[in-house]
């Protein structure tokens, strides 16, 4: 376990939330629009199975589950009329990723929310917090600590981790339950960027053991 900030962390169910970022078929399922870009890291790190393990352990421990979904592409969005749109947003719009009402824009079947689990408002770009109700939902459930997993390491995961740290959450990142579009992106995030913001960077086996204790 990599713990940049000091003592080992605890994960009291009443204070902890599991945050699953962008668990769409387009990212996580073979045949998804972005799957081939992420295949190398998803397979090398056994990401989908690790996400399943963490989710099962969180549910068994009584940890509240939250999903932070990316904005789904919709015909009515009319992004062409926006005065500004960053490159990553423009690329996603052009490719119609996570299209609403399609298989690719649906959650991977293993990460469909159960009754009582929270799906936050869709984020437009990368941070699960920006212009959504995620912070409000976490606070309403008494959550002060978040365990983060999902896609994509150097965009939505990193942005969400940074934002969570900025507004006072204690953040644990599960490093083998995230994927990206190649090892260079993973290395940049895990070695250089996220250690400055995550209170702990752990493996699936480590967080499952903590949640099961």
Domain boundaries, the chain: 16-74+85-212
The full DSSP string for 56-89 is: HHHHHHTPEEEEEPBPPB-GGG-GGG-S---HHH
When mean pLDDT is compared over 72-81, 93-102, 204-213, the highest value belongs to: 204-213
Alpha carbons 110 and 121: distance in angstroms, whole number: 20
Q: What's the average model confidence in pLDDT over 131-155?
A: 98
Measure the CA–CA gap between 95 and 73, rounded to whole angstroms: 9
In a 3-state reduction of DSSP, which class is residue 152? coil
Give dist(CA 196, CA 208) in Å, integer.
Answer: 23
Give the pTM: 0.93
Asked if pLDDT for residue 81 goes beyond 80, the answer is: no
**Cα–Cα distance for residue pair 29/42, rounded to 1 Å:** 10
- Which pLDDT does position 100 carry in this prediction? 95
pLDDT of 144 above 90? yes
Q: Between these two residues, 84 and 9, which has the higher pLDDT value?
A: 9
What is the rounded average pLDDT of the residues 93-107?
92
Residue 207 confidence (pLDDT) above 80: yes
Instruction: Detail the DSSP E strand segments found in the chain.
Output: 16-21, 64-68, 118-119, 145-151, 170-179, 200-202
Q: Structurally, what CATH architecture does the domain formed by 16-74+85-212 represent?
A: 3-Layer(aba) Sandwich (3.40)
Q: Counting beta carbons within 10 angstroms of the beta carbon of residue 74, is it exposed (0 to 12), middle (13 to 18) or buried (19 or more)?
A: middle
Asked if 156 contacts 22 with a C-beta cutoff of 8 angstroms, the reply is yes
pLDDT at 148: 98
């Amino acid at each position: 376990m990599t713990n940049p900030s000091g003592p080992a962390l605890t994960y009291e169910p009443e204070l902890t939330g599991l945050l699953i970022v962008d668990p769409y078929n387009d990212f996580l399922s073979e045949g998804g629009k972005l799957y081939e870009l992420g295949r190398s890291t998803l397979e090398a790190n056994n990401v989908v199975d690790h996400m399943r393990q963490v989710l099962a352990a969180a549910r068994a421990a009584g940890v509240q589950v939250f999903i932070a979904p990316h904005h789904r592409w919709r015909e009515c969005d009319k992004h062409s009329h926006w005065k500004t749109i960053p490159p990553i947003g423009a690329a996603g719009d052009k490719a119609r990723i996570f299209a609403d009402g399609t298989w690719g824009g649906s959650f991977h079947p293993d990460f469909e929310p159960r009754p009582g689990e929270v799906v936050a408002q869709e984020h437009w770009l990368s941070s699960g917090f920006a212009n959504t109700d995620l912070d409000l939902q976490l606070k309403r459930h008494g959550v002060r600590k978040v365990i983060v997993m999902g896609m994509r390491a150097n965009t939505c995961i990193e942005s969400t981790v940074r934002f969570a740290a900025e507004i006072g959450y204690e953040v644990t990142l599960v490093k083998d339950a995230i994927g990206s579009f190649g090892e260079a992106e993973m290395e940049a995030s895990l070695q250089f960027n996220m250690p400055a913001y995550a209170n702990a960077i752990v493996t699936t086996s480590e967080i499952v053991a903590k949640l099961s204790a």
